């Protein structure tokens, strides 16, 4: 089964994708994670993408589509894919159709996480992760039990994404509205869009998604 998780930055796509990976053995294909990996290892794609990402702008359609194509080639046909943060433009949606066809795959569901933008700004600007194990935290909603110490691995090093400032977040949301939301009607016409309340508790969102996948 192949699905797209759609929603503005901070809607919880990554969190839900991790849970789907654990529960259903699917594979998360996050272009944001792939690009951050490329930036940190300093590949040519990473060098090109860094400034664009730091500004909150979109990386070129060709670059992200090539990353997705390469991942699908590597993972083989038996594993379901969760597209997280891709496609983000009409052009990417069309490219994805071509890529899926080439790999003999098809989209089963597009799940849109519906959220309140102002609440999202608070969610995103407060988030941080353990620099060692990647465990996710939040200044207000999910603090480590002992301040400054990771619950999972005990590390005292944490990091924040450079693009999680309020200004950049507002820009990324504007781009979601202008560039990404318009791809929904095309998927609606195929009858594969499901909407989930992304402001509900994490468990409830997971449950709603599980119900859609079981349908």
Query: Stretches 31-39, 93-101, 122-130, 206-214: which one binds ligand AMP (CB under 6 A)?
Result: 31-39
Chosen residue from 7, 8, 9, 198 binding ligand AMP by CB under 6 A: 9
Instruction: For residue 8, state whether it binds ligand AMP (rule: CB under 6 A).
Output: no
- 56 lies in the site for ligand AMP, by CB under 6 A: yes
Is 27 among the catalytic positions?
no
Binding residue count for ligand AMP, defined by CB under 6 A: 17
Q: Is residue 31 within the footprint of ligand AMP (CB under 6 A)?
A: yes
Active site residue 50: no
Q: Which of 58, 121, 181, 193 binds ligand AMP (CB under 6 A)?
A: 58
Least CB distance from residue 89 to ligand AMP, whole Å?
7
Among this protein's residues, is 13 annotated catalytic? Answer: yes
Place of tokens 């990554």: 14
Cβ atoms of 116 and 8 closer than 8 Å: no
Per CB under 6 A, which of residues 119..178 are in contact with ligand AMP? 163, 172
CB of 184 to ligand AMP, least distance (A): 15
**Of the ranges 82-90, 110-118, 123-131, 189-197, which one interacts with ligand AMP (CB under 6 A)?**
82-90
Q: CA triplet 78, 59, 19: central angle to 5 degrees?
A: 40
Per-residue HEC secondary structure of the chain comes to CEEEEECCCCCCHHHHHHHHHHHHCCEEEEHHHHHHHHHHHCCHHHHHHHHHHHHCCCCCHHHHHHHHHHHHHHHCCCCCEEEECCCCCHHHHHHHHHHHHHCCCCEEEEEEEECCHHHHHHHHHCEEEECCCCCEEECCCECCCCCCCCCCCCCCCEECCCCCCHHHHHHHHHHHHHHHHHHHHHHHHCCCEEEEECCCCHHHHHHHHHHHHHC
Cβ at position 104, least distance to ligand AMP in Å: 22
Contacts with ligand AMP by CB under 6 A lie at: 9, 31-32, 35, 52-53, 56-59, 64, 85-86, 88, 92, 163, 172
User: Catalytic amino acids?
Assistant: 13, 88, 127, 161, 172
């Amino acid at each position: 089964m192949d699905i797209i998780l759609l929603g503005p930055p901070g809607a919880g796509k990554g969190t839900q994708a991790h849970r789907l990976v654990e529960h259903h053995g699917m594979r998360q294909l996050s272009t944001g994670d792939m690009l951050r990996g490329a930036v940190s290892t300093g590949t040519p794609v990473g060098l090109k993408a860094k400034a664009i990402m730091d500004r909150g702008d979109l990386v070129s359609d060709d670059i992200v589509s090539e990353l997705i194509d390469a991942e699908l080639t590597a993972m083989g046909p038996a594993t379901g894919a969760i597209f997280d943060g891709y496609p983000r433009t009409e052009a990417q949606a069309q490219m994805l159709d071509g890529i899926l066809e080439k790999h003999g795959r098809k989209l089963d569901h597009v799940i849109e996480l519906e959220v309140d933008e102002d609440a999202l700004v608070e969610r995103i600007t407060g988030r941080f992760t353990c620099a060692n194990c990647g465990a996710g935290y939040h200044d207000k909603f999910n603090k480590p039990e002992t301040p400054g110490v990771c619950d999972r691995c005990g590390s005292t090093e944490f990091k924040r994404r450079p693009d999680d400032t309020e200004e950049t977040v507002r820009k990324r949301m504007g781009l979601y509205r202008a560039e990404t939301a318009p791809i929904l009607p095309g998927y609606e016409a195929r009858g594969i869009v499901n909407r989930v309340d992304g402001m509900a508790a994490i468990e409830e969102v997971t449950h709603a998604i599980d119900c859609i996948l079981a349908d």
